[in-house]
Amino acid sequence: MNPARSDLSPTQWRQIGLITAASVAVFALIRWLPTGTNLSHMDFRVTAKNPIDFCDPLNPQFIPVVAVASPVTMTLVTDAPPAAGRVVRCTLTLRTASGKPIAPEDLLVSNTKLLHLLIADPSLADYQHVHPEPAKTPGDWTFTFTPLRGGDYRVFADFTPAATARSLYANAELNVLGRGEAGPSVSVLTKSWTAEQAGYRFALTPAVLPMRAGQTADLRFSITKEKGGAVPLQLVMGAFAHLVAFDAARSGFAHIHPMELDVTQPPDALHPVLNFKLTIPRAGSYVIWSQVNLGGRETFVPFWFDVVP
């Protein structure tokens, strides 16, 4: 008989058996529990010359999404040819470079959502912010939107893989039939730091004018009710205002949020003011689309301006 065995009493054998069974059960339970993402940081690694890897949330920059290589491919399929003024139903597919689907469990919530789409027509007169919902097939996401104009719409996706915990971007184009007759008039393209819409006056005021390329600009965003009274400013995606800047060529964007980070302290009700910082690296024509929630109604207001060298 094996001397080691002879040292153990039947009770000890039973204890070993129970401990082993318990360990197997715990192991099986852990394996059975959802483990989150199946993707690793290697799935989001890019070997190209200009990989997207930046995004310091405290120092938001203009991100040249189109020029840089994204480790993610995005494709768009619509149920019918998109046309201006009509609802378009889209299925968007997100995959890693090696073809792995990017599903909800692979992404972190950012600004209250897993996936943000910034959609703009070639004139940048129609800007929309949409949140796709995950579809049954992993990697597929569905959304609807109504393009106001014709042309090659550009769709920028903004998301944060759980594997890297850093913002990542992708882009795709969607041709929309029509000449834009359903869209806003070109007067919205007039360069201005003020705008009126729906009974409100919006002002975006840079501390120093003109805005210069490469210099951080302090921007003051304010809203007043034209007839006087309180401005019913509410949170949208976890902030009192979102500003998204595009260059005229739509090569990328900058998405910025108020410096007033404490959303439990809303701005003054009669004359809300929010402060932003923005650095634009290159001279040219730009638009900042502001997005606010006024009494439950989402309002988008553009400000066109020039950045000088």
Distances (CA, A) of 225 to 54, 232, 234, 297: 38, 9, 15, 15
Between 37 and 111, whose beta carbon lies closer to Cu ion?
A: 111
For 29, the enclosing helix (H) or strand (E) is helix 10-32
Choice between 131 and 212, CB closer to Cu ion: 131
Question: Cβ of residue 238: shortest distance to Cu ion, in angstroms?
Answer: 8
Residue closer to Cu ion by CB (options 111, 192) is 111
- Name the segment binding Cu ion (CB under 5 A); options: 49-57, 111-119, 181-189, 192-200: 111-119
Residue that the structure tokens 């500003």 belong to: 243
DSSP state of 189: G
Considering only 45-53, 192-200, 236-244, 273-281, which stretch makes contact with Cu ion by CB under 5 A? 236-244
Is the peptide bond prior to 34 cis by the omega test (within 30 degrees of 0)? no
Look at strands 253-256 and 242-247 and give their pairing.
antiparallel
State yes or no: residue 116 binds Cu ion (CB under 5 A): no
Stretch that binds Cu ion, among 109-117, 179-187, 212-220, 273-281 (CB under 5 A): 109-117
149/242 with CB nearer Cu ion:
242
**Min separation Cβ 242 and Cu ion, Å:** 3
Q: How far is the CB of 278 from Cu ion (least distance, A)?
A: 13
Q: Closer CB to Cu ion, residue 149 or residue 257?
A: 257
**Helices then strands, each counted (H, E), the chain:** 2, 19
Residue the block writes with tokens 């703009």: 120
Q: Give, rounded to a whole angstrom, the gap between the first and last alpha carbons of the chain.
A: 90
Q: Least CB distance from residue 119 to Cu ion, whole Å?
A: 14
What x/- string results for residues 199 through 218 when contact with Cu ion is judged by CB under 5 A? --------------------
Q: Identify the helix (H) or strand (E) that includes residue 173.
A: strand 168-176
Q: How do 233-234 and 284-294 pair as beta strands?
A: antiparallel
Using an 8 Å Cβ cutoff, are 277 and 256 in contact?
A: yes
Q: By three-state DSSP, how is residue 77 classified?
A: strand
CB of 255 to Cu ion, least distance (A): 5
DSSP state of 267: P
The residue sitting closest to Cu ion, measured at its beta carbon, is 242
242 binds Cu ion (CB under 5 A): yes
Q: Could you tell me the smallest distance in angstroms from the CB atom of residue 78 to Cu ion?
A: 26
Q: Which is nearer to Cu ion, 111 or 285 (CB)?
A: 111
Residue 158 C-beta: closest distance to Cu ion, Å: 9
- What is the rounded distance in angstroms from the CA atom of residue 297 to the CA atom of residue 146? 17
Beta carbons of 286 and 243 less than 8 angstroms apart: no
Contacts to Cu ion from residues 135-174, by CB under 5 A:
none
Q: Which stretch binds Cu ion (CB under 5 A): 72-80, 105-113, 158-166, 263-271?
A: 105-113
Amino acid present at 171: N
Binding site for Cu ion (CB under 5 A): 111, 242
